[in-house]
C-alpha cells in the first residue's frame, strides 16, 4: 500500500523535534481505530523505515536515517523528531519489548516483525518522548494502516492503550520487582543485553573504577551524544562553528560541541578543515603525538596509522605532523574505507601523507625502515560507542570478542616489530572490554624484551585542557561516557627501547 503523508503534524514539534502542548491527562480518540487516520506522518514513517531496515536488512541506522530523511524531504524539526524516535526505539528495544511482553497476549516472536517495530515506535513515544497518548496511538495506528495494512490496527491500539496506563517509572518498577540479580535489573532498566551489562561491570573494575557506576554508564549509552568538532591544527578555525552556536570543548584544545542542528551547513565542515570527531578520539590521537620519542630522526619523523579507515584520527595526526614537518602513512585494507581516508585527509597538504591499501599485519614488509610513532586503532566490538550506534548492542555477540582477539594481537605485534627503537606505539580501542584492551596489551608484551609501557593516563592529562582526567590505571588509560562525556576509548602507550 502506498503511504499517504500528512502535513500539519510537524508544526506542533519544537526545535528538538519533541511534540508541544502535552497535557498531563491521558486522552484518547473517541474514534474506533478502523475509522481513524490511514495516513503515515512522514517523520514516523522515516523512523519506521529505519527500524525495518535495521531488522530486516541488517542495515546501520546511522546510514539509513539520513537517506530516508532526504527521501521524505523532512524539515529540520521533523528530522529531529524522526531521529529521536528511531534511535530511541532502537536503544530502548530491550526494555520496550519487556513492557510489550506484558501487554501482548502471545510471545512477541509470533508477531509480524513490522507490527512489532510499529509497537516499539509507539512505546517510545509514550514512554520517552512526551507525545500525548492519543497522538501516539492514532499516529502509530495510522502508520501501520498505511504501511502494513488494516489488519493489526486493533491489536496495536489495544496494546498501546495498555502501555499508556502506566508511566515509564511504574513499568520499570513492575519489571524489576522481585528481581534479585543486579545484572538483570540493570539490563531491564537500561535496555542493554545482560552479557553487555556483565562486561561493563567487569570493565569498570578492571580499569580501577567501582561497579556502582554501572547504572550511570548504561544511562550514558542511552543519551544522544552531542556532536563534537575538531579544528584541524594549523588548517581549521572554530570561529564559524562558534558563531553558529557551538561552544568550546572543555576536554581538549581546538574542539567544540555543536548542538545547533545539521553540522553539514558549516562551510568549514564541508571543506574538511573542521571535522566531526568524538573528544575521546581526539585525546588519544593527541596523546600519541605528544609523547616523547627517543632519538627522533633529524630529517623528521615518520608516523603510521595502521588501521586508518574512515580516517578521523589520520586527519588529526596528519595535520599535527604537517605542523612539525613530519609525514604520515595511513593504512587501511578495505578499499572503500581507504577512499574515505583519502577524503578525510584532503584538507591536509598531500606532501605530508600517503594512503596504503593493505593488511596491517604485514606492513613491515612494505616499510622496512619502520616508523617513529604508530597508532593501532584496532578493529573492536565498539562497546564503548553504543550511544552512537543505537542497534549495535543487539547485534554484537560475546563470540565477536573471540573472533577479534587474534587480529588485535597480530596488529599490535606487527606494530611493535615495525616501530623504530625509541619510537612509540599507541594501542587504542573504542571498547573498555578487558579482553580487547588490557589482555591484548599484556599478551603482546609478554616474552618480548625491550618494550616499556608508558603512563598513558599522565600523557592524556598532558593533552587535556583540565590537566586532570583521572583516566589512568596501572599505566593504561580508559575514558568513559558517564565520566568524561566521550566514547569509552582505551589507550596504551608502548615505547621500544633504543
With binding defined as CB under 6 A, does residue 472 bind ligand SAM? no
All three cell numbers of 119: 509497537
d(C-alpha 189, C-alpha 173), whole Å: 9
Instruction: Give the nearest distance from C-beta 327 to ligand SAM in angstroms.
Output: 18
With binding defined as CB under 6 A, does residue 388 bind ligand SAM? no
With binding defined as CB under 6 A, does residue 310 bind ligand SAM? yes
- Residues whose CB falls within 8 Å of the CB of residue 291, separated by 6 or more in sequence, listed in order: 373, 424, 454, 459, 493, 495
d(C-alpha 209, C-alpha 341), whole Å: 35
Among the residue ranges 75-83, 237-245, 358-366, 398-406, the one whose residues contact ligand SAM (CB under 6 A): 358-366
Tell me if 105 is assigned to a ligand binding site: no
Residues with active-site annotation: 430
Tell me if 311 is assigned to a ligand binding site: yes
| H-run or E-run covering 258 | strand 255-258
Residue in 115, 188, 308, 441 binding ligand SAM, rule: CB under 6 A: 308
Tell me if 359 is assigned to a ligand binding site: yes
d(C-alpha 125, C-alpha 286), whole Å: 41
With binding defined as CB under 6 A, does residue 379 bind ligand SAM? yes
Among the residue ranges 86-94, 221-229, 263-271, 307-315, the one whose residues contact ligand SAM (CB under 6 A): 307-315
In 357-407, the DSSP E strands lie at 371-377
With binding defined as CB under 6 A, does residue 148 bind ligand SAM? no
Taking the least distance from each CB to ligand SAM, the nearer of 149 and 358 is 358
Nearest to 128, CA basis, from 176, 167, 72, 98: 167
**Based on the number of CB atoms within 10 Å of its own CB, is 449 exposed (0-12), middle (13-18) or buried (19 or more)?**
exposed
Taking the least distance from each CB to ligand SAM, the nearer of 111 and 307 is 307
Tell me if 380 is assigned to a ligand binding site: no
Given a contact cutoff of 8 angstroms between Cβ atoms, the answer to whether 367 and 304 are in contact is yes
With binding defined as CB under 6 A, does residue 281 bind ligand SAM? yes
Tell me if 312 is assigned to a ligand binding site: yes
Given a contact cutoff of 8 angstroms between Cβ atoms, the answer to whether 329 and 367 are in contact is yes
Residue in 313, 433, 482, 495 binding ligand SAM, rule: CB under 6 A: 313
Residue in 78, 332, 372, 391 binding ligand SAM, rule: CB under 6 A: 332
Residue in 22, 52, 337, 465 binding ligand SAM, rule: CB under 6 A: 337
With binding defined as CB under 6 A, does residue 278 bind ligand SAM? no
- Residues whose CB falls within 8 Å of the CB of residue 438, separated by 6 or more in sequence, listed in order: 206, 207, 474, 476, 492
Count of C-beta atoms within a 10 Å radius of residue 107 = 8
With binding defined as CB under 6 A, does residue 405 bind ligand SAM? no
Which one-letter DSSP state was computed for residue 430? S
Residue in 194, 294, 359, 455 binding ligand SAM, rule: CB under 6 A: 359
Taking the least distance from each CB to ligand SAM, the nearer of 188 and 344 is 344
Instruction: Give the nearest distance from C-beta 378 to ligand SAM in angstroms.
Output: 6
Taking the least distance from each CB to ligand SAM, the nearer of 296 and 379 is 379
Residue in 42, 133, 312, 390 binding ligand SAM, rule: CB under 6 A: 312
Taking the least distance from each CB to ligand SAM, the nearer of 58 and 335 is 335
Tell me if 182 is assigned to a ligand binding site: no
The number of helices, as runs of H, and strands, as runs of E, in the chain is 22, 13
With binding defined as CB under 6 A, does residue 221 bind ligand SAM? no
CA–CA distance from 455 to each of 39, 396, 402, 462 (Å)?
60, 31, 28, 11
d(C-alpha 381, C-alpha 431), whole Å: 6
Tell me if 264 is assigned to a ligand binding site: no
Number of residues that bind ligand SAM (CB under 6 A): 20
CA–CA distance from 473 to each of 44, 59, 456, 490 (Å)?
45, 37, 9, 11
Taking the least distance from each CB to ligand SAM, the nearer of 69 and 306 is 306
Tell me if 377 is assigned to a ligand binding site: yes
Instruction: Give the nearest distance from C-beta 429 to ligand SAM in angstroms.
Output: 7
Taking the least distance from each CB to ligand SAM, the nearer of 31 and 343 is 343
d(C-alpha 455, C-alpha 448), whole Å: 19
Among the residue ranges 165-173, 325-333, 388-396, 456-464, the one whose residues contact ligand SAM (CB under 6 A): 325-333
With binding defined as CB under 6 A, does residue 457 bind ligand SAM? no
Phi, psi of 52 (to 5 degrees): -65, -45
d(C-alpha 433, C-alpha 439), whole Å: 9
Instruction: Give the nearest distance from C-beta 3 to ligand SAM in angstroms.
Output: 37
- Residues whose CB falls within 8 Å of the CB of residue 115, separated by 6 or more in sequence, listed in order: 144, 148, 152, 155, 156
How many residues are recorded in the chain?
Answer: 498
Which residues of the chain form contacts with ligand SAM (CB under 6 A)? 281, 306-313, 331-334, 337, 359-361, 377, 379, 411
- Annotated binding residues for S-adenosyl-L-methionine: 307-313, 332, 359, 377
Amino acid at each position: 500500500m502506498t503511504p499517504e503523508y500528512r502535513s500539519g503534524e510537524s508544526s506542533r514539534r519544537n526545535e528538538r523535534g519533541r511534540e508541544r502542548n502535552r497535557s498531563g491527562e491521558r486522552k484518547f480518540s473517541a474514534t474506533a481505530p478502523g475509522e481513524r487516520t490511514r495516513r503515515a506522518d512522514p517523520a514516523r514513517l522515516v523512523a519506521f523505515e529505519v527500524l525495518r531496515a535495521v531488522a530486516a536488512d541488517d542495515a546501520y541506522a546511522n546510514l539509513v536515517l539520513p537517506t530516508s530523511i532526504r527521501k521524505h524531504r523532512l524539515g529540520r524539526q521533523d528530522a529531529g523528531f524522526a531521529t529521536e524516535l528511531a534511535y530511541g526505539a532502537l536503544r530502548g528495544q530491550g526494555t520496550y519489548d519487556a513492557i510489550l511482553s506484558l501487554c501482548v497476549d502471545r510471545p512477541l516472536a509470533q508477531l509480524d516483525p513490522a507490527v512489532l517495530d510499529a509497537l516499539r515506535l509507539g512505546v517510545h513515544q509514550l514512554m520517552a518522548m512526551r507525545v500525548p497518548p492519543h497522538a501516539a496511538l492514532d499516529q502509530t495506528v495510522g502508520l501501520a494502516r498505511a504501511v502494513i495494512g488494516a489488519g493489526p490496527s486493533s491489536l496495536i491500539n489495544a496494546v498501546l492503550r495498555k502501555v499508556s496506563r502506566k508511566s515509564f517509572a511504574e513499568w520499570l518498577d513492575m519489571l524489576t520487582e522481585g528481581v534479585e540479580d543486579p545484572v538483570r535489573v540493570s539490563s531491564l532498566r537500561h535496555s542493554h543485553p545482560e552479557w553487555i551489562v556483565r562486561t561493563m561491570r567487569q570493565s569498570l573494575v578492571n580499569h580501577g573504577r567501582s561497579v556502582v557506576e554501572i547504572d550511570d554508564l548504561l544511562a550514558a549509552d542511552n543519551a544522544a551524544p552531542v556532536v563534537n568538532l575538531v579544528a584541524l591544527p594549523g588548517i581549521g578555525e572554530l570561529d564559524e562553528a562558534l558563531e553558529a552556536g557551538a561552544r568550546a570543548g572543555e576536554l581538549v584544545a581546538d574542539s567544540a560541541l555543536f548542538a545547533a542542528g545539521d553540522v553539514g551547513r558549516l562551510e568549514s565542515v564541508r571543506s574538511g578543515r573542521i571535522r566531526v570527531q568524538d573528544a575521546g578520539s581526539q585525546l588519544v590521537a593527541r596523546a600519541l603525538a605528544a609523547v616523547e620519542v627517543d632519538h627522533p630522526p633529524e630529517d623528521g619523523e615518520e608516523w603510521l596509522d595502521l588501521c586508518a579507515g574512515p580516517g578521523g584520527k589520520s586527519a588529526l595526526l596528519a595535520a599535527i605532523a604537517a605542523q612539525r614537518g613530519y609525514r604520515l602513512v595511513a593504512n587501511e585494507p578495505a578499499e572503500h574505507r581507504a577512499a574515505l581516508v583519502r577524503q578525510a585527509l584532503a584538507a591536509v597538504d598531500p606532501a605530508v601523507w600517503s594512503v596504503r591499501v593493505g593488511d596491517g599485519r604485514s606492513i613491515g614488509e612494505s616499510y622496512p625502515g619502520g616508523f617513529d610513532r604508530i597508532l593501532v586503532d584496532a578493529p573492536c566490538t565498539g562497546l564503548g560507542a553504543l550511544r552512537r550506534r543505537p542497534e549495535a548492542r543487539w547485534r554484537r555477540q560475546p563470540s565477536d570478542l573471540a573472533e577479534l582477539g587474534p587480529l588485535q594481537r597480530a596488529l599490535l605485534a606487527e606494530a611493535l616489530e615495525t616501530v623504530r627503537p625509541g619510537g612509540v606505539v599507541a594501542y587504542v580501542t573504542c571498547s573498555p572490554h578487558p579482553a580487547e584492551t588490557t589482555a591484548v596489551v599484556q599478551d603482546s608484551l609478554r616474552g618480548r624484551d625491550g618494550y616499556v609501557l608508558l603512563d598513558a593516563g599522565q600523557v592524556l592529562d598532558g593533552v587535556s585542557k583540565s590537566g586532570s582526567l583521572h583516566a589512568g590505571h596501572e599505566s593504561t588509560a580508559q575514558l568513559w561516557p558517564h565520566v568524561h562525556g566521550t566514547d569509552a576509548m582505551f589507550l596504551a602507550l608502548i615505547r621500544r627501547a633504543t
